[in-house]
Structure 1
Amino acid sequence: MNLLFVADPLSSFSVKKDSTLAMMLEAQAKGYAIWHCHIEDIKSVAGAIYAKSQKIKIDMAGSPWYVSTQTKEMKVAAFDAVIMRKDPPFDMSYVTATWFLSQAKLEGAKIFNDPVALRNHSEKLSLLEFLQYAPPTLISYDLKDIQDFHREHQDIIIKPLDGMGGMGIFRVKSDALNLASIVETLGDSGKRALMAQKFLPEISEGDKRVLVIGGKAVPHGLARIPQGGEVRGNLAAGGKGVACPISEKEAKVAEHIGPLLASRGLHLIGLDFIGGYLTEINVTSPTCFVEITQQTGYDVAKQWLTSLEQYLK
């Protein structure tokens, strides 16, 4: 089986903990051929969608950890499966890639996550469909709306809709210090909508990532615990990752949301919880495979590949 991974440059992978690499290794262990391309390598030629891709062999003892054995321009639909793992930002290049992949899907390509679903699913706004599980939440362009929300809840988090890895997240306490300035800066003076949520003190126990694969939750999640006075638990912001079993409440939320989003083509999602409240639904390139596997012994990549194989039957 030939698998094409659409991802960031291989040289940029964090080898010790990269979830895409964990997927590749699991697939290679099953004897599958691993191919890689960037979103910029996808194009339309005479109406068909092609990707200039390199076939790689992974050797974790080598330096670098991969060897390119072949480079070829192939129809995207010729691969047995296409794994879309390009990291944010969700910019026009990303959107264009989903348009190309949507056409490739019409040509018969099997793509995970589905490009139409990726394009339609905002990792922040998608929460609106499931607000019964979320903390008090507001999304608006308007400074007054956010000021009113703050007056009601006193201690809030403000973040941009297109942020990743904890970038652009601010806490505003009861004194409202710099609230207007934060909103004006993050919102580009009213040109960008922002998300505001009631601050959850349970963040001290971690921002917990729960992975859901093919509609089924991984039994262990990763609590990303803020360090050094930070309010952000994101690993990219210095948070400490601690694996632990998912709670009964988290499991019930996953049982509701997971199959629904899987039916829309979102094979792999990451649900983020703070204190049992759902705060985001990640779909672009959910991570934490390696940390969970290393700390618990539960093979997340194996669950992912087994689920993928079932979809391809």
Structure 2
Amino acid sequence: MDLLFIADPLESFKIEKDSTLAMMRVAQEVGHHLWFCQSRNVLWKDNLVVADCQSLLIKPSSTSWFELGDVQSKALNTFSAVQMRTDPPFDIEYLNTTWLLSAATRQGAKVFNDPAAVRDHSEKLSITEFPDLIPPTLVTRELSAVEAFHKTYGDIVIKPLDGMGGMGVFRVGPDGLNLASIVETLGENGSRTLMVQRFLPEIADGDKRVLLIGGEVVPYALARIPQGTEIRGNLAAGGKGVAMPLSTNEQRIAEKLAPILNQRGLFLVGLDLIGGYLTEINVTSPTCFVEITNQSHFDVPHFWLKALERTIS
């Protein structure tokens, strides 16, 4: 198979734990051919969606770990599969790329995740489709609504809808200290929508990342546990990642969502669960392949590749 990865610059990869690199390695090991480009290299030309891409060889060295070939212009529908692995934020250029990728799917390209499904799926707002699984939640631009929510629940978390890696997440305790200032700053004085949720003390046990691949559930989660005085478990915010088997409740939630999301074209999904509550559904560039594999010995990259091969066969 010829696999195209649309990703961030290779030089930016954290090679000791990068999930995209783990995908590349396992695909190369079984004989598939790798290609690479950035989203800026996807274009409409001569009535086709093409990528100005390069062949990619993964090498064992930890310093010079990749080798790229000459740039070639190849139609996306000539690849066996196209992996869109560009990290958020989901800005206008990300949106433009999804529109080009949608055009490519109309021309027969197999893109994962499906660009229309990604475009229609807000990683934070999507949880509202499953109200029985989520904590008390408010979505608003109005300070008065946040103040009323705080009065009801006393201890809350406020976050922007387009954040990633725990960026912009604030906790406001029962004293309400700086509530108005936080809402005004994050919400840019009412011009941006915020999500507010009841604080879940179970975060002390970890923000669990559960992976869904091809409609199936990876049986281990990565609990991202806050360190020190932090409330954020995100690894980017200094959280400690600990792989552990799914609890009965986590398995139930994952098995409920897996077939629904896969049917929509969301082949790879990362659920975030805190204390048995669903808090996010990540579809742009889910991670934690390496951490789960290294600690549980469940081979997530191999699981991903087998699911991909079945899907495109």
- What is the TM-score of this pair, normalised by structure 2? 0.99
Paired AA for residue 157 in structure 1: V
| Alignment match, 2:85 | 85
Is the 8 Å Cα contact of residues 200 and 274 (structure 1) preserved in structure 2?
A: yes
| Alignment match, 2:32 | 32
CA distance in 2, matches of 1:250, 1:124: 18
| Alignment match, 2:221 | 221
Is the 8 Å Cα contact of residues 211 and 268 (structure 1) preserved in structure 2?
A: yes
Paired AA for residue 281 in structure 1: I
| Alignment match, 1:238 | 238
Could you give the per-residue CA deviations for residues 185-206 of structure 1, whole angstroms, max 9, x where no partner exists? 0001101000000000010110
1:48 shift after superposition: 1.0
| Alignment match, 1:262 | 262
- Gaps of at least 5 residues in structure 2 are none
Q: Give 1:69-84 correspondences, 5 Å limit.
A: 69-84=69-84
CA distance in 1, matches of 2:180, 2:54: 49
CA distance in 1, matches of 2:168, 2:3: 35
Worse-superposed segment, 140-149 or 97-106: 140-149
Could you give the per-residue CA deviations for residues 108-129 of structure 1, whole angstroms, max 9, x where no partner exists? 0000000000000000000000
CA distance in 1, matches of 2:262, 2:30: 24
CA distance in 2, matches of 1:227, 1:104: 44
* Pairing 1:140–2:140 present: yes
CA distance in 1, matches of 2:156, 2:103: 42
Paired AA for residue 287 in structure 2: T
Is the 8 Å Cα contact of residues 56 and 70 (structure 1) preserved in structure 2?
A: no
1:63 shift after superposition: 2.9
| Alignment match, 1:272 | 272
CA distance in 1, matches of 2:54, 2:309: 22
CA distance in 2, matches of 1:308, 1:202: 34
CA distance in 2, matches of 1:62, 1:18: 13
1:166 shift after superposition: 0.3
CA distance in 1, matches of 2:264, 2:178: 41
1:228 shift after superposition: 1.5
- Gaps of at least 5 residues in structure 1 are none
Is the 8 Å Cα contact of residues 215 and 267 (structure 1) preserved in structure 2?
A: yes
Q: CA, structure 1 residues 62+221, in 2 after alignment: closer, same or farther (shift >3 Å)?
A: closer
CA distance in 1, matches of 2:239, 2:190: 31
CA distance in 2, matches of 1:193, 1:224: 26
Paired residue secondary structure (1:188) = coil
Paired residue secondary structure (2:305) = helix
Identity, in percent, stands at 57
1:62 shift after superposition: 5.3
Is the 8 Å Cα contact of residues 161 and 193 (structure 1) preserved in structure 2?
A: yes
Paired residue secondary structure (1:159) = strand
CA distance in 1, matches of 2:135, 2:60: 42
1:60 shift after superposition: 2.4
Paired AA for residue 230 in structure 2: E
Could you give the per-residue CA deviations for residues 267-308 of structure 1, whole angstroms, max 9, x where no partner exists? 000000111111100000000000000001110001100000
Q: Give 1:1-313 correspondences, 5 Å limit.
A: 1-61=1-61, 63-313=63-313
Runs of 4+ in 1 over 3 A off after TM superposition: none
1:47 shift after superposition: 2.1
Q: CA, structure 1 residues 170+62, in 2 after alignment: closer, same or farther (shift >3 Å)?
A: closer
Aligned CA RMSD, in angstroms, stands at: 0.7
Paired residue secondary structure (1:294) = helix
Could you give the per-residue CA deviations for residues 125-184 of structure 1, whole angstroms, max 9, x where no partner exists? 000001211110110111111111110000000000000000000000001111011001
